[in-house]
Amino acid sequence: MSERYGVRVFAPASVANVAVGYDILGFPLEELGDEVIVRDGTKPGLIITKIINNKNLSKDISKNTAGYAAQKLLESLGLENKPIEMDIFKNMQIGTGLGSSAASAVAGAFGVNAYLDFPYTKAEVLKFATLGEVIADGSYHADNVAPSLLGGFILIRDNETLDWSKLHCPKGLLSVIIYPHVQVLTKDSRSILKENVSLEDHVIQSGNLASFVTGMFTSDFELIRRSLSDVIIEPQRAQLIPHFYDVKEMALNENVLGFSISGAGPSMFALCNNTLAAENVVEKARQIYADNGIKCTAFYSKINHEGAIKM
């Protein structure tokens, strides 16, 4: 029997919202992310054969973000009965706030696209990956999916039409990630948000988002620093994250550009423009949680500008 053809792809973790862009802004990390192997199958249709590192995830295509995204791509090409097998390597825990479900959805759709020798561009794959993300939290938004797929800072003008733009990223920009080992599911984190926003907060947040975008394009770190302040979502979600304000105060004292919640949490992120500040925040965050008996993973990463890749 001849060896079956297959490809392996990687889709990175991501930080969504970035303080001032709820559901419309995100960026990916380096190294951390999910992988998928797509190969020739022996039976008609797409089959998930293995899920490594998470036995609780369903192999049912309709209930798995990677499988569903891949299936929708196949259906669009009229190839839903093509024999394909998929192995999923979950290198990220679910409920961290680092786009775990989005990374799987991206890896699934991008992996099948790569296996088929790229009938779609990356931009065209986005709609299928976003459909896969819906399986996780029931909401059609691409603030994790788009950065994981496309790389760089992505601003979504409109989630419904997936009208997106890539922002300029200043040289030397880094992100610190702090993940206390408590679980906050996106559905739960969304359920506590108020439906209405005051006019005053809307004006402040709009100004911060616009100035953040300006600061990115002009490489004005001080403008970025002044802009990274969330007056709408963070005050509502901070209660879900143990010692959030202690860690935030510490990070700001280390002269980071800004600090807030990554996605739905419990992970937090800081943006900074020097490795010394990043290293200090990582070390001190670990100590804060160790002193309070909570396990914590903390690290810093460059901004990933490639997004999903064929390995």
Per-residue pLDDT, 3: 77
Domains of the chain: which residue ranges?
6-168, 174-302
**Per residue in 72-98, pLDDT tens?**
999 999 999 999 999 999 998 888 999
**Per residue in 36-64, pLDDT tens?**
999 999 999 999 999 999 888 999 999 99
Q: Which CATH number among 3.90.1150.10, 3.30.230.10, 2.40.10.120, 3.40.50.300 corresponds to the domain 6-168?
A: 3.30.230.10
Per-residue pLDDT, 64: 97
Instruction: Please determine, looking at this structure, whether the domain spanning 174-302 carries the CATH number 3.30.70.890.
Output: yes
**Per residue in 167-182, pLDDT tens?**
999 999 999 999 999 9
Instruction: Note whether 230 and 19 are within 8 A (CB).
Output: yes
For residue 2, what pLDDT band results from cuts at 50, 70 and 90?
low
Contact residues for 142 (Cβ-Cβ < 8 A; gap 6+): 126, 129, 130, 133, 154, 156, 159, 162, 164
For residue 184, what pLDDT band results from cuts at 50, 70 and 90?
confident
Per-residue pLDDT, 93: 86
Radius of gyration of the chain (CA): 19
The strand pairing partners of 177, in sequence order, are 269, 299
Per-residue pLDDT, 54: 87
- Tell me: pLDDT of 1 over 80: no
How many Å apart are CA 234 and CA 117, to the nearest integer?
Answer: 42
- For residue 34, the number of C-alpha atoms closer than 13 Å in the C-beta half-sphere is 34
